[in-house]
Amino acid sequence: MPRASTATVSAPGHDRAVRPDPFVDPDPVAVPAQTAIHHNVRVTVLTDRLVRIEYASDAVFEDRRSVAVVNRRFAPVDFNTTTDGDGLVVDTGPVRLECSDCSRPFTSRTLSARITTGDRTVSWHLGRRERRNLGGTVRTLDGWRGNATPRFVDFDPERGVVNAWDEKSLEPGLLSRDGWVAVDDSAGALVESRSGSSAAARPRAAARAAGERRDLYLFAYGTDHRAALRAASQLFGHQPLPPRYAFGYWYSRYFPYTDAELLELTDAFERYDVPVDVMVIDMDWHRPGWTGYSWDRDLFPDPTATLAALHAHRLRVALNLHPADGVGRHEDQFGAMCAALGLDPATTERIPFAITDPAFVDAYFRLLHHPEEDRGVDVWWMDWQQGSDTPIPGLDPLAWLNLLHWDDQARRRPNRRPIFLSRWGGLGAGRHPLGFSGDTYATWESLAFQPSFTATAANVGYGYWSHDIGGHFQSEPDAELYTRWIQFGAYSPVLRTHGSLDAFLERRVWEYPNPFRDVMIATIRHRYDLVPYVYTEARKGVDSGRSLVRPMYHEHSETAAAYEAPGQYHFGDQMIVAPVTVPNDDDAMAPVRVWLPRGDWYDVAHGARLSVDAEDGTWLERRYLLGEIPRFVRAGTVLPSQQGVRRLDTASYPNLVVTAYPGADGDDELYEDDGTTTGYERDQAVWLPISQRVRAGRRALTIGPARGAYRGWTRHRPVEVRLVAEAPPRAVHIGDRDVPWSSDRAEGHWWFDATAGAVVVSLPRVDLLTGTTVAIDRAPGRRRAEAEAALDGHPGLARRIALIDDASRALVGDDNRTIMHLARTGERVDRDPSSLIAELSGLHAGLAELDDLLARAIDRHAELQSLNPLDPPRATDALAAARRLLTTTVDQFGS
């Protein structure tokens, strides 16, 4: 029997030659010292819990990148290898991998591993089925209603086609409660990269060499999901930072707009003061047909002028693209394409789409895309739906199309961030945001599924899904559904409304009746307020591998309930969001069941403190008005935002806002860069620390000092500070300067916003490079405690009283002064903050009187109705609805 041999591989120094930055400079060739070769098997230790395992019948192993895998040069780690005859053991500590026969192809008996995480040990062998994989994503949601698609099973003469619905599931992801995930890249096509910026240097696809080969990656991270995703982002490629404008509003509707109508639409956005950054023109920009590259001159007589006019409104323009049908003879560039490809235009009817032919690819970009990009097209929306096969085995045309488009943009304009819309092309697709999820049915089931779907895609590093907000296929408009969908969109990676070619499927929010119109417009503005936070969290994800929207179990992996909360998600590091995905009940509110981990929380929509003592967290059911979006922050959270912004095209945020939530100390940072270039990859950026410190007699918020620099950064800016759930203070200071109080919102002053339950301080000019501190002298202990108790939940209560007032003021007769007095409580507190405790106590005491008032008014109108039975009972119904809202309000916010 051959003698066994053992070797220990030690990690060399982490110098640049050994460990390049895998984001800026990925390298598919692993550090040689991190490999162990025995006969026909090579094992590469990427981390102590991520191992590549190869078999090659000719013992020639693959070091080129694949379409999925771009980087294998990880920081070296120590491991032991042992050979015994044909057997090989690689032991990293957490993972003991064993191949008992390295001379033959792998089998379930010859390839196995023992994986240890903490005090738990699990085993893996080749072919073992994962039972608790947490899921990934899918190529498209075309035709989905929730997590189901239609199957036509019957035809009824009266009802037409009757559908049955088949349940759908997501593809496996990179996280599993089994403790391991095995990724098989054996059939994945390879990429041959070339240096240089010319067309000849474009990547080329190649098939794997002939013969028996396996190429496996074993992720053995247990439930350390964050570490697994960090390693995956190094292996498959980081999610790059999209241009800042991508986080704004994208207006899209499948509709044959003319140039004049698009410009009128743009004017309407400005007239109704609705922010927007991207105008999407669906397939009707080109001549009729599925595929097209030539402007329809009936709709756009002068496309150059149209794009220039849209750009003059500071908009970006996206065009839809269906490339699968190739290039027909009706196209403007047909002759040039034939000449480039050596075809006779007289005998050629259509040039086939040939994405693996280098000559076609060169002509495709040079003749069809570059001229339109030079004309002013900012974003291509590649709507590929036609199969997954190419002449190269293992090469998905969608994945290859995405890779080539990204590469073309990066080569042609190396200092500009590439961007396009496309579909999921498999592992590694996160390197090419943004995603287009496809054409869903506009139903409550579809809306309810999308939060979970979006979050779960983070399990495969695909964090930028863009949905058809509002849904695609719809029989008739549902204003409430559309409103709730836009609210989810505001807390999604991308806010892009869309819908099918339907005369009644309206996507202009101002065309809806109130209250829906005002809520939708306010929500889009709110999204723009959020962008500094959203953009900061997206930048953090470049390095961490975490997505902006991610499941609860990413942060709470050892808590069972975190795996049972698909309707909510972490929105960055600081926030939990649980979108409303059901219609309102008859009390004008919708129920939301949310799980909160242990700790102190603040319900931002209600303005209420929540304390969770249970080790495993707790489930709560709370109710939300149409204008409320359920979101929760931990005690002490500090969030950067902005106000009054309608475009995201400035290099710095012009009107910063920092909001501090109550209950504890807190720290965060605001990230800024120029928003469009790749300079952020070279640290051309600014990080601005923000922190809150809370003491018995003092609450202070410190901003800065900033660190870093980039061209266009504005050092001096106005900042507004909001200290939420804070009693009116005795004094407010900026540095060593006292700040005067104002009953109005005056620059350079502080004021109290009772409806929001916040002390607000205006700083007209802050030097962010040196920083500043806003501090308040808090009210004495007992009085502060009484004020904070009165403020707890007041924002939600005030919003409901205002709604009751609006619905019933004209129906209660002379009693309307009572309801008006209650509804204006906050205004009186704003004018005299010292009255807060008395006024809010009076509001709570007046709720019983308000209930009696509404009951009397209902009786009066019911009596009148009995005298006029043919009149619709509108007044009685409206008052009854207001009283139901009041009853639920008292139950939720206390009497």
The predicted structure's pLDDT at residue 20: 47
* Residue 159 resides in a domain: no
* Residue 391 resides in a domain: yes
Rounded-to-integer distance, Cα 464 and Cα 493, Å: 5
The predicted structure's pLDDT at residue 51: 98
Residues 6 or more apart in contact with residue 820 via CB below 8 angstroms: 805, 809
144-153, 310-319, 529-538: lowest mean pLDDT where? 144-153
The predicted structure's pLDDT at residue 464: 98
Sign of CA dihedral 287, 290, 294, 299: positive
The predicted structure's pLDDT at residue 22: 61
Helix (H) or strand (E) segment spanning residue 742: none
Question: Tokens 């070769």 label which residue?
Answer: 37
Name the nearest CA neighbour of 485 among 535, 511, 519, 528.
519
Q: Is the pLDDT of residue 1 over 60?
A: no
Please tell me whether residues 759 and 816 are part of one structural domain. Answer: no
* Residue 576 resides in a domain: no
Please tell me whether residues 739 and 810 are part of one structural domain. Answer: no
Instruction: Give me the mean pLDDT over the 72-87 stretch.
Output: 96
Name the nearest CA neighbour of 833 among 758, 761, 748.
758
**Domain interval for residue 399:** 280-436
Number of separate domains in the chain = 4
Which of the four pLDDT bands, split at 50, 70 and 90, describes residue 864? confident
Asked if residue 642 lies in contact with residue 833, where contact means CB atoms within 8 angstroms, the answer is no
Q: Is the pLDDT of residue 18 over 70?
A: no
Which of the four pLDDT bands, split at 50, 70 and 90, describes residue 21? low
The predicted structure's pLDDT at residue 609: 97
Long-range contacts of 60-63 (CB under 8 A, 24+ apart): 60/209, 61/37, 62/190, 62/208, 62/209, 62/213, 62/215, 63/28, 63/29, 63/30
The predicted structure's pLDDT at residue 869: 79
Q: Is the pLDDT of residue 10 over 70?
A: no
Please tell me whether residues 290 and 205 are part of one structural domain. Answer: no
Please tell me whether residues 763 and 829 are part of one structural domain. Answer: no
Sign of CA dihedral 883, 884, 885, 889: positive
Sign of CA dihedral 548, 554, 555, 560: positive
Percent of the chain residues past pLDDT 70, beyond the cut: 95
* Residue 611 resides in a domain: no
Which of 67-81, 155-169, 375-389, 501-515: highest mean pLDDT?
A: 67-81
The predicted structure's pLDDT at residue 5: 55
Please tell me whether residues 306 and 198 are part of one structural domain. Answer: no
Rounded-to-integer distance, Cα 804 and Cα 798, Å: 10
Higher pLDDT among residues 894 and 734, named by residue:
734
Q: Structure pTM? A: 0.95
Residues 6 or more apart in contact with residue 646 via CB below 8 angstroms: 270, 273, 275, 276, 528
The predicted structure's pLDDT at residue 16: 32
Which of the four pLDDT bands, split at 50, 70 and 90, describes residue 11? very low
Asked if residue 410 lies in contact with residue 418, where contact means CB atoms within 8 angstroms, the answer is yes
Looking up residue 742, the CATH number of its domain turns out to be 2.60.40.1180
Q: From the CB of residue 543, how many other CB atoms can be counted at a distance below 10 Å?
A: 11
Residues 6 or more apart in contact with residue 298 via CB below 8 angstroms: none
Rounded-to-integer distance, Cα 810 and Cα 268, Å: 33
Please tell me whether residues 719 and 862 are part of one structural domain. Answer: no
Q: Is the pLDDT of residue 69 over 90?
A: yes
Instruction: Give me the mean pLDDT over the 382-396 stretch.
Output: 89
* Residue 811 resides in a domain: yes
The predicted structure's pLDDT at residue 386: 78
Q: Is the pLDDT of residue 828 over 60?
A: yes
* Residue 671 resides in a domain: yes
Which of the four pLDDT bands, split at 50, 70 and 90, describes residue 9? low
Looking up residue 383, the CATH number of its domain turns out to be 3.20.20.80
Residues 6 or more apart in contact with residue 406 via CB below 8 angstroms: 418, 420, 431, 432
Please tell me whether residues 712 and 802 are part of one structural domain. Answer: no
329-338, 598-607, 707-716, 806-815: lowest mean pLDDT where? 806-815
Can you spell out the DSSP letters for 391-458?
SSTT--HHHHHHHHHHHHHHHHSTTB---EEB---STTGGGS--EE----B-SHHHHHHHHHHHHHGG
Instruction: Give me the mean pLDDT over the 835-841 stretch.
Output: 96
Return the CA Rg of the chain: 30
pLDDT digits (tens, 9 = 90+) for 561-610: 999 999 999 999 999 999 999 999 999 999 999 999 999 999 999 999 99
The predicted structure's pLDDT at residue 503: 82
